[in-house]
Amino acid sequence: MQKIYNPNKNNWSEILKRPTQTVADIEENVLTVFNEIKTEGDQAVQRYTKKFDKVDLDAILVGSEEIEEAKKLIDQNLKDAIQLAKSNIEKFHAAQKTDKVSIETTIGVKCWQEKRPIQKVGLYIPGGTAPLFSTILMLTVPANLAGCKEIVLCSPPNKEGKIHPAILYAANLCGVTKICKVGGIQAIAGMTFGTETIPSVYKIFGPGNQFVTVAKQLATKFGVAIDMPAGPSELLVVADDTADASFVASDLLSQAEHGKDSQVILVSTSKEMMNEVEKEVAKQLAVLPRKEIAEGAISNSKLIYVEDDQKAIRLINEYGPEHFIVCAKNEDFYIDNVTNAGSVFIGNYTPESAGDYASGTNHTLPTNGYAKQYSGVNLDSFMKSMTFQKISKQGIQNIGKAIELMAEAEGLQAHKNAVTLRLDSLK
């Protein structure tokens, strides 16, 4: 890990640069896949599945027999763990429900807001070297609480043409309506345009690699909404002498093992803590099963020393981490002053892994600095706010003149007439 001491503010953007390609670098490839799937449907999906996933599928859709087989392959202890996580996620997201907002803005003018579910949603669940079945809980639980009618799940098949049994088990447990064996760009394109097998959806959720992230962004050009541009995982830890170096190192490595394009950063007001964490990272890395992947991410990562908490929080807000862990004596300062972060973990006994699995918060979060303007997935992500109004005779008399004057000032005579006719009818 690269060590940096008291970086000049003018250099922060370069120091905090993510190890990812830009949209422009890969958009042309993504658009090619999109165009072919739009015109050829399942045929193009299967062609790209063979090219990217190295498997020739007979069918895209997962059948009931595969789901039943998957149930038998899951250990009961894991089933119990999944149920615990599901329960906590349900509790936290159910608590996010809000009542109808209603007010009479003027006598006779009643306005209110109600929320409605997005009817059709698509979930992208990464497979590959780490089948993220936990993401299914994070997305299907709020989708069901919101009342979404159709939940389509896409996940890449392995070389045998199967989806990991834990993904199938969690999807079935959580009420997914259709499961498709398709990953990457072709999955996002399939849910964008619809094919003979893959339904089109109104909004796409879920993390993925850089190609999936760009594909989701491209989907918005074709009338499909997305949760956020959620790309390679990242973590920033702020730690002082009150932190436990072995805990900090374990948190950094927990994100580094996601992928070689992940990034982890330690910001510290203690040079001694930085040195201890560096030693612990090397020690723990040596015995990790995913050592090679974690090493790739660690090579992109940094240990940054700053003089005080004030400079640290400015640097952190400039970076806008997906995950932010606070292991510092002055934790309230960081809680009160952080403005850009996807999810915050506080104290030595709050590992980022807890949010990934079972504490109840959602782990689908904005990456690549998008925490500056995006929220993580929550109950409202699966809903739309609709406004309503009802105006009485007295109400239109109370606000009619103002509407006429404003419409006339903007040169919109028909707008004015719509009010004038009503006012004249009441004379």
Structure tokens at 236: 């920033």
Active-site annotation holds for 93: no
Residue 323 in marked binding region: yes
Tell me 115's DSSP state.
E
Catalytic residue among 257, 276, 280, 323: 323
Residue 368 in marked binding region: no
Catalytic residue among 234, 322, 331, 352: 322
CA 205 – CA 212 distance, rounded (Å)? 11
Strand order in the sheet with 343-346: 2-5, 302-305, 263-268, 234-239, 323-327, 343-346
HSE-CB of 337 using CA atoms within 13 angstroms: 16
CA 335 – CA 346 distance, rounded (Å)? 8
Taking the domain 23-100+115-229, which CATH number applies?
3.40.50.1980
Predicted model pTM: 0.92
Domain ranges of the chain: 2-19+232-360, 23-100+115-229, 392-425
Neighbours of 427 (CB within 10 A): 5
- β-strand pairing of 109-117 with 383-391: antiparallel
Give the model's pLDDT for residue 129: 67
Tell me 6's DSSP state.
S
| Environment class of 118 (CB within 10 Å of its CB; exposed 0-12, middle 13-18, buried 19+) | buried
Q: For residue 106, what is the enclosing H or E element? A: strand 101-106
CA 82 – CA 166 distance, rounded (Å)? 10
> Same topology for domains 2-19+232-360 and 23-100+115-229, yes or no?
yes
Residue 124 in marked binding region: yes
Coil, helix or strand at residue 2: strand
What stretches of 194-308 show up as alpha helix (H) in DSSP?
210-219, 245-256, 271-285, 291-298
CA 320 – CA 344 distance, rounded (Å)? 11
Active-site annotation holds for 322: yes
Residue 410 in marked binding region: yes
Structure tokens at 406: 């404003």
Q: Which residues, 6+ apart, have CB-to-CB distance to 15 below 8 Å?
A: 4, 7, 302, 304
Structure tokens at 265: 């950063």
Residue 255 in marked binding region: yes
Which among 322, 91, 339, 92 has a CA at the least distance from the CA of 228? 322
Structure tokens at 251: 């948190």
Residues present in the chain in total: 427
Hey, which residues does 16 pair with through a beta bridge?
Answer: none
Tell me 61's DSSP state.
B
Tell me 391's DSSP state.
E
Residue 93 in marked binding region: no
Domain 392-425: CATH class, spelled out: mainly alpha
Residue 6 in marked binding region: no
Residue 2 in marked binding region: no
Fold of 2-19+232-360: Rossmann fold (3.40.50)
> How confident is the chain (427 residues) per 10-residue block, as mean pLDDT?
93 88 78 96 96 92 95 96 98 97 98 98 86 94 98 95 95 96 97 98 91 92 92 92 97 93 95 97 95 91 96 98 97 98 98 97 94 96 98 98 98 98 96
Distances (CA, A) of 124 to 32, 68, 151, 253: 20, 22, 11, 24
DSSP structure string for 129-173? TS--HHHHHHHHHHHHHHT-SEEEEEE---TTS---HHHHHHHHH
